[in-house]
Structures are given as C-alpha cells and as structure tokens.
C-alpha cells in the first residue's frame, strides 16, 4: 500500500491522463507520478493526489523523473544544482515516506 501524505487535492488541480481500471485477470498496477516542475515532497499536490489514488486502489505509488534534453542544455552549475536537489528528493521519498524514485535520461515520453 502507498505511503500517507495529508490533505486531499482540489478537483481543479487534477488532470487524469489514464484512468486506472483493473479486473481479476488484469489487476491495476502501481500509480506512477511523472514528476516535472514540482521537484519536492512538501506541498506537492500532484504527489499527494498520486498517493491518494494509490491508497484508494491499495496499490503502490512510485515517482519517475525524466532528465531530458532541455535540462541537459543547462550549464554545469545549473545541472549540478538540479541533480543535488533530485538526490535529496530521492532520499526524502525513499527514506522518509517509502516511495521509490526512478530517474530516467532522455526517455522522450510525451503525454
């Protein structure tokens, strides 16, 4: 089961990309929060919503982040700052609230 974060999210803040519907033959998998701008745990409404949905479905939640070309165009100081922040984020997610974090490079996924 997913971790707990307080608060429910206002419906105006939510945009569902894919509804989770499972069956006995094909159960629902984990809820994946594809992180982009809000690279933090605290006051992250999308993360709170992902955890809420995972808890409702009794499935795990995971956070994914794609380090795509736009970020790779940053200078070394900017990229280093962001990578240190992502490292802290990974620690906060995995050690504090037991949510796995996956970092991808240039997956080019578009929603």
- Determine what percent of the chain is predicted with pLDDT higher than 70: 74
Residues 72 and 94: their CA atoms lie apart, in Å, by 25
Domain with residue 41: its CATH number is 3.40.50.620
31, part of any domain: yes
pLDDT at 107 over 80: no
Confidence category of residue 91, pLDDT binned at 50, 70, 90: very high
Confidence category of residue 79, pLDDT binned at 50, 70, 90: confident
Q: Structural domain of residue 88, as residue ranges?
A: 11-105
User: Structurally, how many domains does the chain consist of?
Assistant: 1
100, part of any domain: yes
Check the CA dihedral 14-1-104-107 and report its sign.
negative
pLDDT at 27 over 50: yes
Q: What is the DSSP letter of 12?
A: G
45, part of any domain: yes
Confidence category of residue 1, pLDDT binned at 50, 70, 90: very low
6, part of any domain: no
| Range list of β-strands (E), the chain | 31-35, 61-67, 101-105
* Token reading at 27: 């159960």
pLDDT digits (tens, 9 = 90+) for 51-61: 998 998 899 99
């Amino acid at each position: 089961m997913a971790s707990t974060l307080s608060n429910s999210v206002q419906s105006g803040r939510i945009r569902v990309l894919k509804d989770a519907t499972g069956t006995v033959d094909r159960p629902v998998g984990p809820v994946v929060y594809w992180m982009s701008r809000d690279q933090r745990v605290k006051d992250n409404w999308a993360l709170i919503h992902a955890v809420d949905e995972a808890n409702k479905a009794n499935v795990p939640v995971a956070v994914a982040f794609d380090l795509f070309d736009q970020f790779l165009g940053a200078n070394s100081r900017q990229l280093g700052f962001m990578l240190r922040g992502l490292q802290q984020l990974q620690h906060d997610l995995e050690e504090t609230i037991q949510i796995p974090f996956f970092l991808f490079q240039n997956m080019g996924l578009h929603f």
